[in-house]
Amino acid sequence: VQLQASGGGLVQPGGSLRLSCTASEFSLDQYATGWFRQAPGKEREWVACISSRDGNTFTYYADSVRGRFIISEANAKKTVYLEMKSLKLEDAAVYYCAAARGRLCRSAISDFGSWGQGTQVTVSS
C-alpha cells in the first residue's frame, strides 16, 4: 500500500495541527497504521497506532503524546489522522505514517512495511 502524509507546518507551542495519511489505492482496513517521528539527530520513534478488527477500533499512544494526540481513521479507512494538540517544542520532527499488515498495532519500525514520505512539523515561538 502506498501512503501519502500531509498536514505538517509551523505552529507555536501550545498550538494544534492535524496530520493526514492517505492510502493511494486500497483502504487501510487490513493494516495497522502508525505514526512515527524523527527529530534531527535522534532516532525515529513510534508515536501512535490504530487498528480495527472484529468491529472494534484500537488506538495506542506513546507516553510522551498520550492525552495530547489523537489518532483516528476516516474515508472508508483510506485516511488516518493524527490530531496533535498542546504541541511542545519537543514535538518538532518529521512525522511519518506507516502501515503494517495484520491489524495488530506494533511499535517497532521493522514491523511496518509501507511508509509515507514524511511531513515536517515545526514548533517554534
DSSP string for residues in 20-32: EEEESSS-STTEE
Mean pLDDT rounded to a whole number for the chain: 94
Among 57, 40, 65, which Cα is nearest to 122's? 40
pLDDT > 90 fraction of the chain, expressed in percent and rounded:
81
Quick check: helix, strand or coil at residue 92?
A: coil
Please give the angle made by the CA atoms of 58, 63 and 68, to the nearest 5 degrees: 75
pLDDT for 43-91, tens place per residue? 999 999 999 888 899 999 999 999 999 999 987 888 999 999 999 999 9
Count the neighbouring beta carbons within 10 Å of the beta carbon of residue 30.
Answer: 15
Q: What is the pLDDT of residue 95?
A: 98
Quick check: helix, strand or coil at residue 86?
A: coil
Q: What is the pLDDT of residue 75?
A: 79
Query: Cell for 54?
Result: 472484529
Find the mean pLDDT for residues 99-115: 92
